Amino acid sequence: MQDAGGTAGRMPAGSGFLRREVGLWGLTFVSLGSIIGSGWLLGALSAAQAAGPASVISWLLAGGMLALLALVHAELGTAYPVAGGTARFPGFAFGALAGLTAGWAAWLQAVTIAPIEVEASLQYLNNIGWVRSHLGLLHADGTLSPAGLGFATLLMLLFTVINVLGVRRLTRSNATVVLWKLAIPVLTVIVVAALTFQPSNFTAGGGFSPYGAHGIFAALPAGVVFSLQGFEQAIQLGGEARNPQRDLSRAVILAMLIGTVLYILLQIVFIGGLDPRNLADGWTHPVGAGDFGPYATIAAAAGAGWLAVLLYADAFVSPAGTGLVYLGTSARLSYALARQGTLPPALSYLSRRGVPLYSIALAFVAGELAFLPYPSWQSLVGLVTSATAIMYAFAPVSLTALRRRDPQHHRPYRIPAAGIAAPAAFVAANLVIYWGGFEATWKLLLAIGAGLALFAITVAYTPDRERPAVDWRASSWIWPWLIGLTVIGFLGRYGRGARLWLPGWIDLLVVIAFSLVVFAYAVSVAMDSERVRAAVDREQDPVGRHVRPSPGDPS
């Protein structure tokens, strides 16, 4: 019998297998390496410019909201440990169209982050005098020069080669980078707090909260949520985890906890370490207009030139490490979508090393194209954050639907008070989308529409016996949800093009009420238990013929 997931269980085009080689620390470092990227170097500055000292509250708020979503993903990942899980869970509960929509949003943000991180690395390198005068990686407007594009391509090729060599090399190379990425910000917190910390900065430039609640919320899509996202990377490797039932939840929760605490401390020492003279006229330029590497500026001013050198080195290593992980993640998402029958089947080809070869090649090509129109790190943060929030929003709806339709399924980890936590997590994701602004939401709506067009073309060229069955009723909530959020954004108070017709706080109540209505309807129209179990059974346990364990391999 064909389920709504259609061909989710068909064999990949190649003869290889996904290999279960990744242990607890490998999974933890994959998520933590994604969380600690260019965001730690730039996120505190962007947040302070949006909210002033109250940006600390923004980090606390974002940490709580994303922790809730992380717990939801932890239960789903341990119960259904499949490659590209964020694209697969909605497919299990709502069918192929839901899986494609969630997976396409996930792929859009993942495939874009790798080139963003590469460009961030080159921005910092270009700030070194010798590099700027001899190589000239950037134009005056911040876009890549021909030399910059060449170096960016070399970095993307390096990421591609490491991913092609297999998941064990990916996680091992990432673990080495993550240890460095974790050590440098911890050192920065200690040194800045010890050498130059001005408590008076927390009331300077207009007081603790110069821009009110609007500034606190606006800081979330300005870099805060972007910096903390990435916990789901361990979930994407669920099909390659050696002991997913035990390790996935631990890895996600541990990475999220470490990342949140670290970012809050970094924001505190950033505010306290600023020169008070820069705050006399507010928080527009707390480290001086045009400065790259705000922590390096603070360290140099405090007499810690050696730390500034380390920070400039880390400004290359941290973004590059995150780009490495996200290129692999985007490849596994397109692999998962091809496995579902919603993207061309060639993308599900596995090499003998057990890697999705053509999906990795697609990620490289898409990354190269992404370099062309994007002038800076800041220019895409809001768009990527909203795309990530759309991806995250599918998880709590899927969790509740799968608990009801597949209640007997083994769940090694169960989120406490799921009846409250799941709808709250859905509301949290929708608030992040709303705070991202109307301009980001309508652009993503068009991009998701393009993905659906590609799905339609794929289905049209798929033989009838392999064609995924689209359960229109089960997915009937998706477009009203996305269009509704876009309309609320148009009427609301965030982003270019917003009309400001909804009063402050009333706009948040509208988002919350709308989210709860959509959540209840979505859960009620999920596929029936028989079709859900059929979709899950096609994966077998843990992912059937598509996974080959590799006993004895170290993490």
DSSP string, 143-154: PBPHHHHHHHHH
Q: Does 407 or 337 have the greater pLDDT score?
A: 407
> Tokens 């799941």 map to which residue?
422
Cα–Cα distance for residue pair 437/499, rounded to 1 Å: 11
pLDDT for 120: 78
How far is CA 133 from each of CA 137, 292, 313, rounded to the nearest angstrom?
A: 9, 16, 18
Q: Would you say residue 340 has pLDDT above 80?
A: no
Contact 488, 511 (CB under 8 A): yes
Which of 42-51, 146-155, 169-178, 523-532: highest mean pLDDT? 523-532
Task: Say if residue 423's pLDDT is above 90.
Answer: yes
Note the pLDDT tens digit of each residue in 50-65. Answer: 999 999 999 999 999 9
Q: Which of 81, 100, 102, 65 is nearest to 395 (CA)?
A: 102
**Which residues touch 526 (CB under 8 Å, ≥6 apart)?**
93, 94, 401, 404, 405, 474, 532
- Residue 144 main-chain phi, psi, to 5 deg: -70, 135
Residue 89 is predicted with a pLDDT of: 92
> Looking at residue 318, what is its pLDDT?
79
Structure-block tokens of residue 7: 């061909």
Predicted pLDDT of residue 329: 79
Does residue 347 carry a pLDDT above 60? yes
Give me the pLDDT at residue 379, please.
Answer: 65
238 with 248: CB under 8 angstroms?
yes
pLDDT-derived band at 293, boundaries 50, 70, 90: low
pLDDT (average), residues 300-329:
84
Residues 523 and 500: their CA atoms lie apart, in Å, by: 32
Predicted confidence band of residue 118 (pLDDT cuts 50, 70, 90): confident
Pinpoint the alpha helices (H) of 138-278.
146-164, 167-195, 212-219, 225-228, 233-236, 244-273
Decide if 102 contacts 397 (C-beta within 8 A): no
The residue assigned the tokens 């859960």 is 523
Higher pLDDT, 104 or 173: 104
> How many angstroms separate the CA atoms of 109 and 535, rounded?
26
- Mean predicted confidence (pLDDT) in 510-523: 98
pLDDT mean over 319-332: 80
CA distances to 65, 217, 306, 371, 428 from 424, rounded to whole Å, are 9, 17, 45, 36, 6
The more confidently predicted of residues 453 and 14 is 453
User: Do residues 74 and 263 lie in contact, with contact meaning Cβ atoms separated by under 8 Å?
Assistant: no
Partners of 22 in the β-ladder: 241
Judge whether residue 13 has pLDDT over 60: no
CA angle 380, 37, 290 (to 5 degrees): 60
Q: 368-419 pLDDT, tens per residue?
A: 888 876 555 666 788 889 999 999 999 999 999 999 999 999 898 899 999 9
At 547, the pLDDT band (50, 70, 90 cuts) reads: very low
pLDDT in tens, 256-284: 999 999 999 999 999 999 999 999 889 98
For the chain, the average pLDDT equals 84
Tokens coding 273:
């370490």
- Enclosing H/E stretch for 304: none
Highest mean pLDDT among 98-107, 495-504, 508-517: 508-517
Which of the given ranges, 97-101, 245-249, 434-438, has the highest pLDDT on average? 434-438
Q: Which helix (H) or strand (E) holds 29?
A: helix 24-35
> Any idea which residue has 């509960």 for tokens?
93
- Residue 455 structure tokens: 């799905």
How far apart CA 338 and CA 336 sit, in angstroms, is 5
